[in-house]
Amino acid sequence: MRLTALNERAEMIGLKQGQGVAEAKAICPELDVIEEDPAADRKLLEAIADWCDRYTPLVAIDGKDGLFLDITGCAHLFGGEEALLEDILIRISRLGFDVRGAISSAPGLSWAVARFDESRIVPPEAMEEALASLPVACLRLGEETVAALRKMGLKQVGDLLSAPRAPLARRFGAQLLLRLDQAVGLVEEPISPRRPVAQLSAERRLAEPVQAEEDILQLARQLAESLKLGLEARGIGGRSFELLLFRVDGEVFRIAAGASQPLREPSRIASLFAERFGAIHDDLDVGYGFEIIRLNVLQHAPFDAMQGDFVGEDRQEGSLAAFVDRVAARLGPDCLQGFELRQSHIPERAVRPIPAMGLLASRRRTGQEDAGSGFFRSERPLRLFRMPELVETIAAEVPEGPPRQFRWRRVMHRVSRAEGPERLSAEWWVEEKEEPVRDYFQIEDEEGHRFWLFRKGLYGRGGTTPDWYMHGVFA
């Protein structure tokens, strides 16, 4: 077991990373050793990254202990780069972390300065100068490369900058030059943000944290109000929204809500979140309140403006969409379903349930054709069981008649009439293995119950008697 991380006091005693635990205990017997938990560390880093969303939507995680923030165009919102850097450093250190940071025109240079120099801002014209005095390890190279460079006497980046490039590339590979160019800004280095960047977003920073749900919803409504102009200017409406709540102590909550139709109306956007709050009520720990609230539009779609007619039929459709959205927001998108008919003669495959949200959107685009009528078939039952239920038949006519009596759910039914069989073969172009044919019968028992029974397979095949199943009930 080795030490992987140290706190300040341990560093003062003179312990080092990579030291064996036994040796460290010998140096300092009262040492507290805690086992490393990479997953928890990662979670913490993610949480800090979430928190950093307040500065810029472009936050990327770097390794085990770093974050890249792309602050292009954001700095002025915080009073300039100095103020921004100071704000970040002070706030994170108040949260109890040892933090360093740097701002420069290249991610590689910021990385190097933050880790091997003091926290500062490097102006674009002084990039090479800032880099020259740093050790070569600041270039994010592999350990062997760093060791080889040291052996060659190339200890500082300045030595590399002044050395001829071709021999360096030959000796240490293209990676070295790439890192070097990235650090001085000759090669663009993209940072990939952790989350998709919102198309549009609006936020409010509050002097006094809010706690009450109504206040949050009221603010969400105001944010939606301010997004409306942007949506209108682009001719779009939002399909998927996200409300970010930054709690005073650094916790960040993300609440997503979708809509079946592109939305612009602030009151409807706010009502989506009202339903979401109703659903997640217990999971949202308000604590000491939220200090920043942001509303993002994650997905959008063209908004076809429609004029309501005098009868108000448009309002009708609108209210259906609003209802669908409310249910989806509170109970999940799968709770409310419509049906899509498909070209298949296998009963359970001929109908596919699809979420009502998708249904409304797709119907708007294409009319639906009736897929179930492509072939001749007998009547289908009103209700179908999710899984066909095994029934015990007492006497069935061989080879292809209905049973005379059968026991289903422990009740004996005497068959008075039957229609059938309707033979449905398996769809060999879909099935993996060969399924037996089904002979369906519409059966009425003596009390007037009408059932849909089928026999799976034929008599006299494979030596076993085929089973009978209950698949549905008629009216």
Partner 1 sequence: MAEAAVARETLFALRETIARLEGRPIPALAAAAHETLADKPARQAAGIAKSLPEQTGFLPIGVGELDTALQGGLPLDALTEIRSLGLRDAGAASGFALALAARLHAQASDTVAAKSPVLWIGDTVATMEAGLPYAIGISDFGLEPQAFLQASPRKLDDALWVAEAALGSAAFAVVILEVRGNPARFGLTESRRLALRAKAAGRPLFLLRQGGEEEASSALFRFSVEPAPAPARPLPDGSVLGGSIGHPAFRLTLEKSRNPAPLSITLEWNAHDRRFAPVLDTQRPAFPGAHAAHSGADLPASADRPHRAQALGSVLAFDRQA
Q: Does 459 bind partner 1 (CB under 8 A)?
A: yes
**11, 129, 214, 313: which one binds partner 1 (CB under 8 A):** 313
Compare residues 313 and 431 and give the one whose CB is closer to partner 1. 313
Stretch that binds partner 1, among 26-34, 117-125, 240-248, 446-454 (CB under 8 A): 446-454
Q: Does 80 bind partner 1 (CB under 8 A)?
A: no
Compare residues 189 and 348 and give the one whose CB is closer to partner 1. 348
- Amino acid present at 96: G
CA distances from 99 to 85, 121, 196, 337 (A): 11, 15, 26, 50
Q: Which DSSP state fits 466?
A: P
Compare residues 127 and 356 and give the one whose CB is closer to partner 1. 356
Q: Does 442 bind partner 1 (CB under 8 A)?
A: yes
Q: Does 350 bind partner 1 (CB under 8 A)?
A: yes
Site string for partner 1, 320-339 (x = CB under 8 A): x-xx--xx--xx---xxxxx
**230, 250, 401, 457: which one binds partner 1 (CB under 8 A):** 401
Compare residues 193 and 420 and give the one whose CB is closer to partner 1. 420
CA distances from 55 to 49, 84, 138, 292, 334 (A): 10, 8, 26, 11, 35
**62, 251, 400, 435: which one binds partner 1 (CB under 8 A):** 400
Q: Does 209 bind partner 1 (CB under 8 A)?
A: no
Least Cα distance to 292 among 252, 257, 256 occurs for 252
At closest approach, how far in Å is the CB of 180 from partner 1?
59
Least Cα distance to 406 among 395, 397, 422 occurs for 395
Residue 411's H or E segment, with its range, is: strand 411-424
Contact criterion met (CB below 8 Å) for 331 and 281: no
Compare residues 20 and 460 and give the one whose CB is closer to partner 1. 460
Name all contacts of 184-192 with Cβ < 8 Å and 24+ positions apart: 184/106, 184/109, 184/127, 184/128, 184/131, 185/105, 185/106, 185/109, 185/124, 185/127, 189/106, 189/107, 189/108, 191/58, 191/60, 191/68, 191/70, 191/107, 192/60
Q: Which two tokens stand for residue 288?
A: 């000491």
At closest approach, how far in Å is the CB of 239 from partner 1?
20
Query: Angle at the Cα of 23 (from 17 to 25), degrees rounded to 5?
Result: 95
Q: How many CB atoms lie within 10 A of CB 108?
A: 23
Q: Does 343 bind partner 1 (CB under 8 A)?
A: no
**419, 424, 436, 467: which one binds partner 1 (CB under 8 A):** 419
**281, 386, 410, 433: which one binds partner 1 (CB under 8 A):** 386
**304, 397, 427, 431: which one binds partner 1 (CB under 8 A):** 397
Residues interacting with partner 1, by CB under 8 A? 311-313, 316, 319-320, 322-323, 326-327, 330-331, 335-339, 341, 347, 350-351, 353, 356, 363, 368, 370, 372, 379-386, 393-402, 404, 409, 411, 415-421, 441-442, 444, 446-450, 459-460, 465, 472-475
